[in-house]
Amino acid sequence: MGVSNHTYKKIVDVIKNNLSSIKDKKVLCLGYPDLLVDEKTLVSIYGNDFVKSIPEDSCANEIRVWHKSTLPKIYDALYLLEHHGFEVTIFDTFSHRNIETIVDLNEPISEEFFNKFDLIIDTGTLEHCFNVGTAFKNVCSTVKVGGIFMTAAPMTKLNHGYWNFGTIVHYDGFTQNGFEILDRTFYNRGIEIPLEKITPKSIPLKSVATCIAKKIKQQDWIWPIQGKYK
């Protein structure tokens, strides 16, 4: 999964505002987090001296090819997550780097992963799961009470994955299952789209919905019913 400039800024804000006081933090990444973040953005967050110390990802060339990126340096995402105090787990269906935990989110996952993680980062995985409802349920089950689920999903990306997400999917899915929404924004090519400009007839191609939700209580899973029909 690729992590863009604006998404990474949100990740850091979430960590600072909600998770900074937690010791022995655990983060779950849905796929390896390819850091498609430029030097200028990282300097604005960490300062020039620290950015100079960040190593390049060992698979930088492969990441550039996969994401069609022209970034001169692909920074090491795990180095930065560990800098913020996280133990990192990566779910994937294939071991690309021999560090992944092999999990198929299309099927119910093991209870060993329930209520385990302080932060979930999904910036491009759920739309590739054919059984997307079960995948969403699975990931919600891994979040500790007080933990954060941050997701970014395509709204109008053609032939990208199996699914595009409507504007209310995250709201209903989270709020009906023990989460509160901390932030919900929509982007097109890295530029935020005001909520009032999102209509069924005006969502531009390659738009993305991002949502940050905090788990405030543990409850049995409810398959969401769209609010207007309840």
Identify the pLDDT of residue 80.
Answer: 97
pLDDT of residue 153: 93
pLDDT at 229: 76
Q: What pLDDT was estimated at residue 190?
A: 80
> Cα(93)–Cα(109) distance, rounded to whole angstroms?
12
The answer to whether 27 and 60 have CB atoms below 8 angstroms apart is no
227 versus 208: the higher-pLDDT residue is 208
Confidence of residue 70 (pLDDT cuts 50, 70, 90): very high
pLDDT for the residue numbered 135: 98
What pLDDT sits at residue 222?
Answer: 94
Of all residues in the chain, what percent are helix, strand and coil, respectively (each to 5)? Answer: 30, 25, 40
Counting residues of the chain whose pLDDT is more than 90, the rounded percentage is: 80
Mean pLDDT is lowest, of 89-93, 116-120, 148-152, 190-194, for 190-194
Domains located in the chain, CATH noted: 2-37+76-229 (3.40.50.150)
pLDDT at 192: 86
Average pLDDT over residues 214-230: 90
pLDDT digits (tens, 9 = 90+) for 179-211: 999 999 998 888 888 877 777 677 888 889 999
pTM: 0.93
Q: Is 221 a residue whose pLDDT tops 90? A: yes
In whole angstroms, what is the distance from residue 21 CA to residue 4 CA?
A: 26
CA distance 215 to 146: 5
Please state whether 190 falls in left (phi above 0), alpha (psi between -120 and 50) or beta: left
Cα 156 to Cα 42, 187, 200, distances in angstroms: 28, 11, 11
The CA distances from residue 20 to 23, 43, 201, in Å, are 8, 20, 41
Could you read off the pLDDT of 101-117 as tens digits, one per residue?
999 999 999 999 999 99
Looking at residue 197, its pLDDT comes to: 76
Segment 8-66, tens digit of pLDDT: 999 999 999 999 999 999 999 999 999 999 999 999 999 999 999 999 999 999 999 99
| pLDDT tens readout for residues 152-170 | 999 988 888 999 998 889 9
